[in-house]
Amino acid sequence: MLDGLRQFISDIVSPQAQERAFGDSDYRLAATALLIHVISLDGEPTPTEKRKLHGLIESHFGLDRGTADRLIASATEVEGDAVDLYRFTSIIMRAVDEEGRKRIVEMMWELVYADGHVTEFEDNVVWRASDLLAVSQRDRIDLKHIVANRRTGQVKDSVTGG
């Protein structure tokens, strides 16, 4: 019986988990896992979504490319094992202030809009995550509009050259 318990614990604390540079209670891992969840909602993430994710992770967390790669790899692993958003949002709630949580929701919107359109499912997941992060409905909608307007401005700039 004891051997079975040891094996169970060993399986949970796998070598991959021990090698991760970011611990399970690191809010950066939790936030990145949420972002990966968002870009995975409509199937395999596009190259544009992957580039956007990488840029957001590097700039928001102040990481170099290699460290961002490791964070994304670790977050992809834990996101695949997760059964709900609470696992990630609870970690973020303990570590991040209101402005930081709003920034995470804004990053979610940036990824939702990365492919040019918002699905009902993506909108719903951002709504649920925002609710779990104690970001108000008003702030969530304001952030959505800010990101959408920023994207519209980028499209206009690339079309008009200005």
pLDDT digits (tens), the chain, 162 positions: 444 444 444 444 444 443 446 888 899 999 999 999 999 988 888 899 999 999 999 999 999 999 999 999 999 999 988 889 999 999 999 999 999 999 999 999 999 999 888 899 999 999 999 999 999 999 999 999 999 998 877 644 443 344
Quote the CA–CA distance of 49 and 122 in Å, as a whole number. Answer: 13
Residue 121 CB-half CA count within 13 A: 7
Number of residues assigned to the chain: 162
Give just the sign of the alpha carbon dihedral 105, 106, 109, 115. Answer: negative
- Residue 21's pLDDT is 64
* Stated pTM of the model: 0.80
Residue 119 CB-half CA count within 13 A: 11
